[in-house]
A = this chain, B = another copy of it.
Amino acid sequence: MTLHDTIRLIGDQALAASRKLVNLSTKKKNAILNAMADALDQQRDLIKEANAQDLAQAAAAGLSAAMLDRLTLTDARIDAMTAGVREVARLPDPVGKKIWKRTRPNGLMIEKRRVPLGVIAIIYESRPNVTADAAVLCTKTSNAVILRGGKEALHSNLAIARALQEGGASAGLPKHAVQLIETIDREAVRELVQLDDRVDVVIPRGGESLIRAVVENARVPVLKHYKGVCHVFVDATAALDQALAIVENAKCQRPSACNAMETLLVHQSVAAAFLPMLGALAARRKLELRGCKATCALLPSCKPAAPQDWTTEYLDLILNVRVVKDLKAAVTHINTYSSHHSDAIVTADARSAKRFMKEVDSAAVYVNASTRFTDGGEFGMGAEMGISTDKLHARGPMGLEELTTYKYVVAGSGQIR
């Protein structure tokens, strides 16, 4: 069979499975998820063997220590993975939920009801735990899923997918509800994202180049975020100690996260007081600063920022700093350079806060808190499938509800127009 036909067959099988998944009750789905967790637990030796094979190949191929770490499955990580599956079983099921119901003057009863999307394709990179995370979120929402992981994690992903499939099947999961693409041919992704008559949405998770490649080729709708270029604006009325704590947290607590800050904006009226505090923090945390002219004048240790720095996601201990005239200039900077992910203001002025929340066009807007909270768990959504900076369908963290759509169910007694 050609690759083209193989991927179409996987699509056909997923679509057929999705037609069966709509009939599973929440209780049944939760039993399936717990059986999946049991199977992961029972098959942990097989999973670790497969992982060792991937790790050996990756080491031979010269992958970085950070990449090898992301790829590694320890007992603790397998425990966390199975605990995550059981946690999803405990979350409320959005499928079947009534969004609204109304009776029209002609007697028609119209209900807007949450239903599964159908078939979801997930394309991801090296971390093999995504295989389990993505599969269980889709199963919980009665969606069929097609998984495509990174080639360096292929054996690990296959072992995890097999455990999920076997455990799921033992509790009534329809065949082909969870499928993993087994070829490492890159062309498979291209074929997959073209299947708009079988796949309802594709969610790419990984670096910007992966996501751009998916968008470029996709005929299927894509939910995504390219990157997180997040801002903190220290307003004229900010409590400067609080501002410094937020800046330190947003930049340094986990610089590799998409909700970490890349650019600090400082109101001109507090620049002379705040920038020396920032300079001391930078020295203490080994943080490289790249500033505008006004910043460099106040902080001689600061390098000048280049134009492209304002749109760069460093994922590292580097921070852009710009002194701005006022709130309006801060909002304009953010709306121009932000990736529309998460942006914060530190202020004691309620009017500034309100205006910032209204005018900043981002998925999450913060007042007096770190941008690092943009996360499904932190937002109380339970698990998350990723974060969207799109405006259509899902914006911000994508939980279970974001993996559903709705239909109108209309009950009549012979009504005609």
Cα distance, A52 to B384, chains bound together (Å): 57
- A353 at interface by CB-CB < 8 Å: yes
List residues of chain B with CB within 8 A of the CB of A411.
353, 366-369
Q: In the complex, are the beta carbons of A364 and B414 less than 8 A apart?
A: no
Q: Is A329 an interface residue (CB 8 A)?
A: no
List residues of chain B with CB within 8 A of the CB of A410.
Answer: 364-367, 369, 373
Distance in angstroms from A375 CB to nearest chain B CB is: 9
Determine if B249 and A369 form an interchain contact, defined as CB atoms under 8 angstroms apart: no
Q: Which B residues lie within 8 Å of A102 (CB)?
A: 380
This protein's copies in its complex: 2
Asked whether, in the complex, the Cβ of B249 is within 8 Å of the Cβ of A364, the reply is no
Q: Is the CB of B416 within 8 A of A405?
A: no
- Bin chain A's interface residue count: 35 or more
Contacts of A335 in B (CB 8 A): 19
Q: Are B392 and A200 in contact (CB under 8 A)?
A: yes
Is A284 at the interface (CB under 8 A from chain B)? no
Q: Is the CB of A417 within 8 A of B368?
A: no
Q: Which residue of B lies closest to A331 (CB)?
A: B19
Determine whether A221 belongs to the interface, using a CB cutoff of 8 Å to chain B: yes
Q: Contacts A108-B373, A392-B200: A412 and B221 contacting too (C-beta < 8 A)? A: no
Give A residues with C-beta under 8 Å from B.
19, 22-23, 102, 104, 108, 110, 115, 117-118, 200-201, 221, 223, 239, 242, 245-246, 248-250, 253, 335, 353, 357-359, 361-370, 372-374, 378-380, 390-393, 395-396, 405-417
